Amino acid sequence: MEDRTTGAGDAAAPLRLDPDRLFPPEATLRGIARRLYEGVKDLPIVSPHGHTDPRWFAEDAPFPDPATLFIVPDHYIFRMLHSQGIPLERLGVPSRDGTAVESDPRKIWRLFAENYHLFRGTPSRFWFEHALTEVLGVETRLTAKTADAVYDAVAARLASPDCRPRALYERFNIEVIATTESPLDPLAHHKKLRASNWRGRVITAYRPDPVVDPEFDGFAAGVTELGAMTGCDTESWQGYLAAHLQRRRYFAELGATSTDHGHPTARTADLAPKAAEALYRKVYLGKATAEEAELFRAQMLTEMARMSLEDGLVMQIHPGSLRNHSRAVYRRFGRDKGFDIPTPTDYVQALRPLLDKFGDEPRLTLILFTLDESAYARELAPLAGVYPALRLGPAWWFYDSPEGMRRYRQAVTETAGFYNTVGFNDDTRAFLSIPARHDTARRVDCAYLAELVADHRLAEDEAHEVAGDLAYRLAKKAYKL
C-alpha cells in the first residue's frame, strides 16, 4: 500500500464545511441558490423510505464505537476499500463461513483513516464529514496521523446522552422516518415505539421480497412461516394472497403507508386466475424454472397493486440491481456486501400489464426508481408524465449523489415536471448521514432551480415554492404522511 503518512494535506488540518458547498460558482446563480436554500434549509426532514434499525429508536441505547457505526455496516465504505485490495475481514465485516475477522474497532478505524484519500470526490466522504462536523462536532480532518485523535473524539461524543438515537432524531428535526421490514418480521420494536410516550414518528414499510421472490434464500420456509403467522393456508394461491393482505393490514396499523419491491426487473404480468394459481403451485413446490420465478414476481407486482387499491398503501419498485455479483463474497459474507451491480432496465414494456390494469387509477400511487440512468429521459419521465398512478422516485443508490441528483433533474423535469416526482428519499441505514443526505438534495435542487430562474424560465417566487415542495411537501403528499 502506498504510504500517505507524510503527504501534503496530512497535517491536522481543520475540517469545516463551506456554507456555499454545491452551489454554482457563478455569482448570479450562487446568489439565487443561496436565497432559495435559505427558505428550505430548516424544514423538517421527512424520510419516507430507508433502512435504519427500529431497535435504535425503541431501545435508545448509545451507538457503539466509531468503526462499528461508520465502517462495518456501510457497503459504500467497505466496497471502495475492497476495490483497492483491502479484504473485508480486515474491516470487521462479519463472515458467515467462520472466516476470522478483525474485531478491534480501533484497528479498523486506522485502516480506514490510512486509506481515506480513496474517498476524495465521492458522496461517502461528503456524508462522513458532515456527520463528523455537524452532528458530532469533530473538526479535524481524518488522516493516518489524526486517526486516533478523531477516533477518541467520536467515541466520546457517541457516549454522551445527546448522541443517543432519540436525541439525534430530535436534533435532526425529523418529522417522520420509515424503516423497511419483511412480512415475517413481528415488528416488536415498532410495537414498543407505539406504546412508548416518545413523540418521534418511526413507521415501518412492507417489503415482501423474501416471500414473493422464489429465488430468495429461504423462500419456501418463509411462505410456510407466513401461513403459520397469519393462520392462512399458504399452500393455496388464495390463502397466500390472503396472508399478504393480512400482514399488510398489520403493518398499516403500525404506521406503514407504503410497500417496497426490490425485484431484479420491473416486469409485471396480469395472468388469468387459473394460470396464476397453477404458477403459484409450481413456485410453492419449488419446481419453478428461472423464467417462471420471474413471471411469478411479475404477477405479484400486479397483485400488490390490486391490494394497494384496497388498503391504500403506496407502492415502490426498486428494480435493476444484480445482487451478489461476486459469488465468492456472497458465500463468505452474505447479502448487501457492496456487490450489487446495476443492470439495464426496461420499464416501457415491463410495466405495461400492470399499467393496463391500474395505470389510470388515481387512487394508486406507484413510485418508480432506477439504477439505469438512460431510462430517465427515454422511459421514466414519459411514463410518469402521463399515467396518473405513476410517480418518479429520486436519484437512487449509486446516483444518490450531487452529480446523480443533477442529472436526474436535467433528464426528467422537462417531461415529467416537478410534481410527478416525490421529493427526496435518503434510503439509508447510516443514521448519522441522514441530515447530510437531505441537505445535499436541498442544495442540488436549489442550484438547479437557480438556473431556471437565471435564464428566466421560472420566477424566483415560484422557485421558492418549488424548493419547499421538493424538500418537504412532495414526500409527505406522495407517501401520505
Binding site for Zn ion (CB under 5 A): 427
User: CB of 68: closest distance to Zn ion in angstroms?
Assistant: 22
Report the distance separating Cα 190 and Cα 55, nearest Å: 8
User: CB of 400: closest distance to Zn ion in angstroms?
Assistant: 10
User: CB of 420: closest distance to Zn ion in angstroms?
Assistant: 20
The smaller minimum CB distance to Zn ion, of residues 133 and 258, is found at 258
Tabulate helix, strand, coil % of the chain (nearest 5): 50, 5, 40
The smaller minimum CB distance to Zn ion, of residues 81 and 367, is found at 367
Q: Rounded to whole angstroms, what are the CA distances from 380 to 39, 368, 372, 385, 396? A: 30, 8, 10, 8, 14
User: CB of 51: closest distance to Zn ion in angstroms?
Assistant: 6
Residue 470 per-residue DSSP state: I
User: CB of 179: closest distance to Zn ion in angstroms?
Assistant: 10
Residue in 207, 205, 209 with CA at minimum distance from that of residue 178: 205
Whether 397 and 21 have beta carbons less than 8 Å apart is answered as no
Task: Output the CA torsion 299→305→310→311 (10° steps).
Answer: 120
User: CB of 437: closest distance to Zn ion in angstroms?
Assistant: 13
Question: Cell match 418518479: residue?
Answer: 392
Residue 127, burial from CB neighbour count under 10 angstroms (0-12, 13-18, 19+): buried
User: CB of 48: closest distance to Zn ion in angstroms?
Assistant: 11
Report the distance separating Cα 25 and Cα 128, nearest Å: 23
The smaller minimum CB distance to Zn ion, of residues 56 and 284, is found at 56
The smaller minimum CB distance to Zn ion, of residues 209 and 427, is found at 427
SS3 assignment, position 321? strand
The smaller minimum CB distance to Zn ion, of residues 47 and 420, is found at 47
Report the distance separating Cα 400 and Cα 81, nearest Å: 19
- Helices and strands (H, E) in the chain, number of each type: 22, 9
Report the distance separating Cα 35 and Cα 464, nearest Å: 8
Question: Cell match 393490514: residue?
Answer: 249
The smaller minimum CB distance to Zn ion, of residues 210 and 353, is found at 210
The smaller minimum CB distance to Zn ion, of residues 108 and 367, is found at 367
User: CB of 398: closest distance to Zn ion in angstroms?
Assistant: 13
The smaller minimum CB distance to Zn ion, of residues 427 and 439, is found at 427
Q: Rounded to whole angstroms, what are the CA distances from 259 to 64, 177, 209, 405? A: 30, 14, 10, 24
Can you spell out the DSSP letters for 77-110? Answer: HHHHHHHTT--GGGGTPPPSS-------HHHHHH
Report the distance separating Cα 420 and Cα 386, nearest Å: 9
The smaller minimum CB distance to Zn ion, of residues 40 and 434, is found at 434
Report the distance separating Cα 400 and Cα 392, nearest Å: 14
User: CB of 102: closest distance to Zn ion in angstroms?
Assistant: 28
User: CB of 82: closest distance to Zn ion in angstroms?
Assistant: 21
Q: Residue with the closest Cβ to Zn ion?
A: 427
The smaller minimum CB distance to Zn ion, of residues 379 and 427, is found at 427
The smaller minimum CB distance to Zn ion, of residues 35 and 323, is found at 323
Whether 341 and 329 have beta carbons less than 8 Å apart is answered as no
User: CB of 372: closest distance to Zn ion in angstroms?
Assistant: 17
Report the distance separating Cα 54 and Cα 401, nearest Å: 25
Q: How far is CA 185 from the centre of its chain?
A: 19
